[in-house]
Amino acid sequence: MRAIDGILRNLYPRRRNADRESLQKTSEAIRAAFAQGDIDRIMTYHHPDVITSQFSYAGPRFGSFLMTIFGAIGLALVTIGVYSVLAYTTTRRTHEIGIRMALGAEGADVVGMVIRMGLRLVGIGVALGLIVSLALGRVIATQLWGVSAYDPWTLSSVAAVLLLTGLLACWLPARRASRVDPLTALRYE
């Protein structure tokens, strides 16, 4: 009760449009509640360490929020980039795709060919990214909380997300390439 007594000495109740007598009654009610040990009913007391820790984590939380936003933007840019490269490549290969379809290739064969071509690029990018992240793990480790720089779940989930977005980016041009009319594609230059 020593800490409570120290708080009680510095506690001054305030009320709007209150006279001295009503303030005195409020002070006595508060003192009685303190004496009974019912401090939670009157006020919530936060230790200074709790208040300080709330503010000391505000900067790192904001930093993690920004990194999440930048990571999402980066993922969107990678997806758009892979899609653009594959769309351009399949457009350039329209004549070849038309010849393949005229010779009997099915739409599924064309889809598989374009997806394999795209996933080869995405796979090389993911492999290089994993190698670089493992090489720079010690530098990155100072910026991470609650996870290791070499955490296998994190590395595998990031690789899986990149492969899935790469697959989506490959699937759209592949689907369009499989719908090419062979006669139109043969005339295409």
> d(Cα 1, Cα 95) in Å, to the nearest integer?
87
The mean pLDDT value for 116-124 works out to 90
Residue 169 CA, distance from chain mean position = 20
Q: Which two tokens stand for residue 154?
A: 């994190």
By residue count, the chain amounts to 189
Higher pLDDT, 20 or 16: 20
Question: 113: closest CA among 137, 130, 94, 132?
Answer: 94
Q: Are 130 and 139 in contact (CB under 8 A)?
A: no
Query: Using CA atoms, how far apart are residues 89 and 174, in angstroms rounded to an integer?
Result: 10
pLDDT-wise least confident of 14-23, 73-82, 111-120: 14-23
- The amino acid that residue 5 corresponds to is D
Residue 143 confidence (pLDDT):
74
Is 67 within 8 Å of 144 (Cβ atoms)?
A: no
Quote the tokens at residue 35: 């004496």
Structural domain boundaries in the chain = 2-45, 63-187
pTM higher than 0.85 for the full model? Answer: no
Interval 131-151: pLDDT, tens: 998 888 888 777 777 778 888
Mean pLDDT of 157-178: 89
Instruction: Give tens-digit pLDDT for 82-109.
Output: 889 888 988 888 888 888 888 888 889 9
